[in-house]
Amino acid sequence: MDFDLSEKHKLLRDRVRQFAAEKVAPVADKFDRTQQFPLDNFRAMGKLGLTGLAIPEEFGGSGADHLAFAIAAEELSRACASTSDILNAHLALCTEPIFMYGNAQQRKKFLPDLVKAEKVGAFGITEADAGSDIASIKSTAVRQGDHYVLNGIKVFITNGDVSDTAVVFANIPELGKRGMTAFIVENGMTGYIKGKKYDKLGMRAGTNCDLVFENCRVPLENRLGEEGQGMAICLSILDYGRIGIAAQGVGLAQAALDLASSYSRGRKQFGSPICSNQGISWKLADIYTQLEAARLLTYKAAWLADRKQPFSLCAAMAKLTATELAMKAATEGVQIMGGYGYMMDSPMQRYFRDAKLTTIYEGTSEVQRMVISRALTRA
Ligand SMILES: Cc1cc2nc3c(=O)[nH]c(=O)nc-3n(C[C@H](O)[C@H](O)[C@H](O)COP(=O)(O)OP(=O)(O)OC[C@H]3O[C@@H](n4cnc5c(N)ncnc54)[C@H](O)[C@@H]3O)c2cc1C
């Protein structure tokens, strides 16, 4: 076994760390307050090659692997989890699925602009009555000649309002329970409407809206994969996406630990730094230890994916461990900083608000436990 990162991965980590420190961290609070999509930094991620990680060079990508993506997602999340969230929705949930399931024509048409960050990608499965239970979506796609006619509403969609291209799912009614099918939808299609925008607790730079389909005409050539392949495509996309969310959790937990640890060394009460109390230092020791475990699980999930070995169980374990840890690290971080951690001018409160989402989207912690326990009982 080799726990060391390759020189290439170390170089990428250092480059993303520097970019995150110089360009992302300084504007993280501003975009959190204004709830605006950080378009300049999104385009800058394109120039750095981050929006094309894990996409082969022939399509303009960086030709890197999922471990590289996990490292980049972690480093971005340390500075601004929303920026990592935006990259995940764009790359893991839209660009990569088009690369993995798209035909030659679709790859040629959509990948270059997405990879260069000239267009923004999004992903829509969730509906008002279909959250954890994605099989219960009600959106329909009825074939009429050389088009499908889509009807339905996708809710909460990350990057939705700023997206140019989205991978969405609808049922083809005549196929019954096996009818879920994936489609690539583009701005300007008749009957494709950007709906309600959301005001959120955290991850506020990653903007969300509903995607509304009212007799939306989607050409046959925009179907992604085969009719009825949608559920398999969706589950596979979510597996890859969970590596990204696990990495977000690791980055957030690291940020909370760094801040809590340095604060606890500087803050004196009763004549000594607060870190000299076991009540504080043991909290930090637990988070430090669990962070190492969460990072290893996350890297292992990416490593398995890169070797084309089954990785969905490991991705679920990584997401569960890393995102619950992010919430714990941020909660304890606020506690360790006392009133100062509760104030809006401390980034700790942002970590706390951002961390909560990581335990909810792309499968809640309960859903990850379902995946893990099913694998265990099947075994
Ligand atoms: C900010 C944000 C961004 C999002 N971005 C996207 C996006 O880009 N694209 C997209 O398609 N979706 C997106 N989502 C949707 C997200 O993936 C869902 O919110 C999530 O899967 C949970 O679904 P739900 O909110 O409907 O909760 P529900 O499924 O209603 O769950 C509510 C609670 O019940 C629990 N629960 C449900 N079933 C079980 C069970 N069988 N056993 C135990 N507990 C259970 C859940 O864990 C949860 O705690 C986003 C959501 C948010 C909040």
3-state secondary structure 144-189: ECCEEEEEEEEEEEECHHHCCEEEEEEECHHHHHHCEEEEEEECCC
pLDDT single digits (tens) 71-88? 999 999 999 999 999 999
Question: From ligand 1's centre to the CA of 272, what distance in Å?
Answer: 45
pLDDT tens digits for range 178-222: 999 999 999 999 999 999 999 999 999 999 999 999 999 999 999
| 364 CA from centroid of ligand 1 (Å) | 6
Instruction: Give me 282's structure tokens.
Output: 């043991």
pLDDT digits (tens, 9 = 90+) for 267-289: 999 999 999 999 999 999 999 99
Residue-wise pLDDT for 84-127, tens only, equals 999 999 999 999 999 999 999 999 999 999 999 999 999 999 99
Catalytic residue status for 226: no
Spacing, Cα 116 to ligand 1 middle (Å): 30
Residue whose C-alpha is closest to residue 94's, from 247, 200, 233: 233
The finding on whether 362 has its CB within 6 A of some atom of ligand 1 is: yes
Q: Which residue has the tokens 């608000």?
A: 353
User: For the chain, what is the mean pLDDT?
Assistant: 97
Q: Which domains, ranges and CATH numbers included, belong to the chain?
A: 7-120 (1.10.540.10), 122-228 (2.40.110.10), 231-378 (1.20.140.10)
Return the residue whose CA atom lies nearest to atom 16 of ligand 1: 361
- What's 206's DSSP letter? S
